[in-house]
Structure 1
Amino acid sequence: MARFTCLLAGPIHPTPALRATVAGTRVVAADAGIRHAAALGLRPELWVGDFDSEPDAAVGAGIARQVLPRDKAETDGELAIAAAVERGATSILLVGAFGGRSDHAFSHLVVALREAEAGREIELFDGRERAWPLTADGFPHRFDAAPGAQFSLLKFSDLAGLSIEGARFPLDGVALPFSSILTQSNEATGPVTVTLASGRAVLLLQADPAVR
């Protein structure tokens, strides 16, 4: 498996957990995401973007660049993911996908769902929050979580056949409309298992405070 980290421009918290997660991965930086490389002990093999948000070129000195036009249909993050896929990525970690501009965070979640539906393993992690797109295949998917960790299921459509185990508020095969907020602010009692028959959603998990 070729595991890649894509460094995006949102804020990060370089916790031991995040450092351990990115260790040993190949790295592509998207524009201002290059700023996270030093804090995480990483050296990207490629730096992509229109470079409208990273004024200090010295930060990425010696790293191969793919310069993109400012007016384009794709975001720098999308093109960083595409570059990783072209290099054989089968597993992708997005770092710096949360915080910053809300529209950017939303687009990263949508892109993550799209990549998961294309059959790629994808995760988002900034040191304090982790997220995984859910595969609507009717099979249980297990996510490691410490007892007491807060999590939410962010819906991007109506959901059907949703079950949640290992939580203070479990669910069993329910159907939920997009407008429902029933899946917000749950609490793990240990590893969380989610099953989804149809729909689009992302599991957002708060990191264990003990590992910050």
Structure 2
Amino acid sequence: MTTSTFTILLGGDLAITDRLRAELAGSRFIAADSGMKHAEELGVTPELWVGDFDSTDAALTARWPDVQRQPYPSAKNETDGEIATAEAISRGAERLIFAGAIGGERSDHLLQHFVHAMSLAERGLDILLTSGEEEAVPLLPGKKVLDLPKDSLFSIIGFSALEGLDITGARYPLKQFGLPFGSSRTVSNVAEGPVEFSLFAGRAIIIARPRDFSGA
């Protein structure tokens, strides 16, 4: 991993696992509002802390007096996470990891994270969303390989109809499959090790559960 990898600390759930630490190793960090709460557990110091700080309490602020803060008004046109993303890209980000992007109380934020991730992937950025327990990766036309533990669960959720979908390295492989929009056919597959995905047309999100072996 190079310093062109940035991790955006978001306010959702984050389980600190060995896999998560390995994924974040060597990354630069930017915190979005209450996402700063994860920095202490991770043992990292973000280079920037952005947001309207409406979900940051005084105690959290007091613990990080030396981190540069960039405040924004509550009445703004972007989420704190989107502002943090723009800052990372302006600093040379080529890979973005959104830690704390999955889970939490706001399902609207979760869905926005998914579509935002898709739009960033369409711009050529390498994207990972994670809660530590779950990971999500955009799947666009082309190939993608995920290094998943054997017998762990993963699903593909289509954000459109999918054409020419291949899945290899899974219990339920597919070859040149057409997935109708809204179909559940690609929910709850099981990795046999690293899984390769290939797609001819469409948009989807791969959601993996690297510590869930309930399908084994």
Give the TM-score category using the shorter length. over 0.9
Structure-1 residue corresponding to 2:196: 193
Structure-1 residue corresponding to 2:30: 28
- Deviation at residue 209 of structure 1 after TM alignment: 5.8
Contact 1:35–1:59 (CA<8 Å) still a contact in 2?
A: no
Gaps of 5+ in 1: none
Structure-1 residue corresponding to 2:78: 74
- Deviation at residue 92 of structure 1 after TM alignment: 0.8
Bigger CA drift: 127-136 or 77-86? 127-136
Contact 1:7–1:30 (CA<8 Å) still a contact in 2?
A: yes
Partners of 2:65 and 2:18 in 1: CA distance: 26
Contact 1:4–1:92 (CA<8 Å) still a contact in 2?
A: yes
- 2:50 aligned residue (27, 40, 48): 48
- Partner of 1:14: helix, strand, or coil? coil
Contact 1:136–1:195 (CA<8 Å) still a contact in 2?
A: yes
Q: What is the identity, as a one-letter code, of the residue corresponding to 1:43?
A: T
What pairs up with 1:115-154 in 2 under 5 angstroms? 115-137=120-142, 140-154=143-157
Contact 1:161–1:196 (CA<8 Å) still a contact in 2?
A: yes
Partners of 1:177 and 1:208 in 2: CA distance: 29
- 1:179 aligned residue (178, 182, 189): 182
Partners of 1:24 and 1:172 in 2: CA distance: 36
The C-alpha deviation readout for 1:8-55, integer Å capped at 9, x for no partner, is 000100112112221221100000000000000110000010111111
- Partner of 1:29: helix, strand, or coil? strand
Contact 2:121–2:138 (CA<8 Å) still a contact in 1?
A: yes
Partners of 2:117 and 2:64 in 1: CA distance: 26
Structure-1 residue corresponding to 2:110: 105
Structure-2 residue corresponding to 1:14: 16
Partners of 1:42 and 1:160 in 2: CA distance: 42
TM-score where L is the length of structure 1: 0.94
- Partner of 2:176: helix, strand, or coil? strand
The C-alpha deviation readout for 1:46-94, integer Å capped at 9, x for no partner, is 0010111111221332111111121122111111111000111111111
- 1:165 aligned residue (156, 168, 190): 168
Partners of 2:113 and 2:49 in 1: CA distance: 18
The C-alpha deviation readout for 1:108-167, integer Å capped at 9, x for no partner, is 111111100001111112211111111213xx3211111110000011111111111111
TM-score where L is the length of structure 2: 0.92
Partners of 1:180 and 1:17 in 2: CA distance: 31
- Partner of 1:202: helix, strand, or coil? strand
Partners of 1:65 and 1:10 in 2: CA distance: 20
Contact 1:145–1:208 (CA<8 Å) still a contact in 2?
A: no
Gaps of 5+ in 2: none
Identity of aligned residues (%): 46
- Partner of 1:146: helix, strand, or coil? coil
Partners of 2:206 and 2:119 in 1: CA distance: 15
1:63 aligns with 2:67: yes
